[in-house]
Amino acid sequence: MTSASMRGKVALVTGATSGIGAAVAEAVAERGAHTLVAGRDAARGEAVVGTIRLNVKAPFYLVAELAPGMADRGGGAIVNVSTTAAAAAPVGACGID
């Protein structure tokens, strides 16, 4: 099954603070949608948003940790298999202005 791109779309996910709602929020964000998380528990909602943001930022943190050692050793390769979610995120969404 192919995943349809949601780049340029806005997704409001209600009940997104746990369970299926959280999984749906993460899935649509991974497909590139600007995702709004809604639910009854603000702290759990912030945790879901944090997970979404971490998933977008993780490759950058990983490269920052690995690249200096690779440069010291004279080479290496970093292969990043990811989505276009980082390209679709609005400015400031990942703490990057």
pLDDT for 3-23, tens place per residue? 688 888 999 999 999 999 999
The pLDDT, as a whole number, for residue 58 is 67
Indicate whether 95 pLDDT > 70. no
- Domain boundaries along the sequence of the chain: 10-82
Mean pLDDT of 62-71: 84
- Max alpha carbon distance in the chain (Å)? 52
Answer for the pair 39, 46: CB distance below 8 angstroms, yes or no: no
- Torsion sign, CA atoms 47, 3, 93, 11: negative
CA distance 21 to 17: 7
Q: Is 82 helix (H, G, I), strand (E, B) or coil?
A: coil
Mean pLDDT of 38-46: 92
- The number of CA neighbours under 13 Å toward the Cβ of 57 is 12
Indicate whether 86 pLDDT > 70. no
Mean pLDDT of 22-30: 91
In the chain, the percentage of residues whose pLDDT exceeds 70 is 72
Q: Write phi, then psi, for 38 (nearest 5 degrees).
A: -130, 140
